[in-house]
């Protein structure tokens, strides 16, 4: 109960500061907290604009099952929760979730931008020709025809791809953003910039599944927050 109260106060402080703006997640979480708790469900938790599940229009509360393909329209974003995992899909993003017993084991990102938080279990993320094995992390992906941008926000991951020696990555706070590019028949991982996602978004996503990011200490942000 104390941990839940601490998380709620932390989220309240973020929302009061307008960290995500009026068009972000803040309105949704404000309403949820006004009702006394944060949602913890499997399905579409928040939607702005349009989204589809297996090609059919989705709405807040729409159920999501393993094998489903979820997409967002232009000028849209959606938050989905799958048991202990939560995702923020930005505009024109398509993902497919696979697993067993309602638990995610594989995430396919066909294109677009996804901020993700995962519970402590093995998950394989497939993005273009890259495969990224993760366990209990926060991660941000941008999948484009020419490259995959990958920021391991915190945790551990193993990156693999065509004719590439698997590369282990460990971070605590966005230290090693990477650009994964195809060089002929070989995939290469090159240092990249930090871009297009925020600590506040990670805090809010983790709150949806009853957690907080490891960079939050005693309910406080580090001085070098992003």
pTM of the predicted structure, to 2 decimals: 0.86
Phi, psi of 188 (to 5 degrees): -120, 145
Measured N-to-C along each axis, helices 2-16 and 199-208 cross at an angle, to the nearest 10 degrees, of 140
Per-residue pLDDT of the chain (226 residues; tens, 9 = 90+): 445 545 555 555 554 444 444 344 455 545 444 444 444 568 998 899 999 999 999 999 999 999 999 999 999 999 999 989 999 999 999 999 999 888 899 999 999 999 999 999 999 999 999 999 998 899 999 999 889 999 999 999 999 999 999 999 999 999 999 999 988 889 999 999 999 999 988 988 888 888 889 988 766 666 677 8
Sign of CA dihedral 188, 191, 193, 195: positive
CATH class of 41-199: mainly beta
């Amino acid at each position: 109960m104390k941990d839940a109260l601490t998380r709620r106060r932390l989220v309240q402080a973020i929302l009061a500061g307008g960290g995500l703006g009026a068009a972000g997640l803040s309105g949704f979480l404000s309403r949820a907290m006004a009702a006394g708790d944060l949602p913890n469900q499997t399905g579409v938790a928040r939607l702005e604009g349009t989204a589809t599940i297996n090609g059919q229009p989705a709405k807040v509360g729409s159920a999501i099952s393993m094998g489903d393909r979820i997409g967002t329209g232009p000028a849209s974003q959606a938050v989905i929760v799958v048991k202990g995992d939560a995702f923020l899909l930005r505009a024109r993003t398509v993902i497919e979730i696979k697993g067993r017993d309602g638990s995610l084991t594989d995430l396919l990102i066909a294109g677009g931008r996804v901020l993700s938080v995962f519970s402590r279990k093995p998950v394989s993320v497939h993005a273009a020709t890259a495969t990224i094995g993760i366990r209990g992390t926060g991660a941000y992906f941008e999948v484009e025809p020419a490259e995959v941008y990958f920021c391991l926000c915190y945790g551990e991951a193993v990156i693999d791809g065509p004719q590439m020696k698997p590369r282990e990555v460990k971070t605590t706070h966005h230290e090693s953003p990477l650009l994964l590019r195809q060089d002929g028949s070989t995939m290469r991982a090159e240092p990249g910039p930090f871009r297009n996602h925020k600590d506040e978004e990670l805090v809010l996503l983790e709150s949806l599944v009853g957690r907080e990011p490891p960079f939050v200490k005693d309910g406080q942000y580090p001085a070098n927050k992003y």
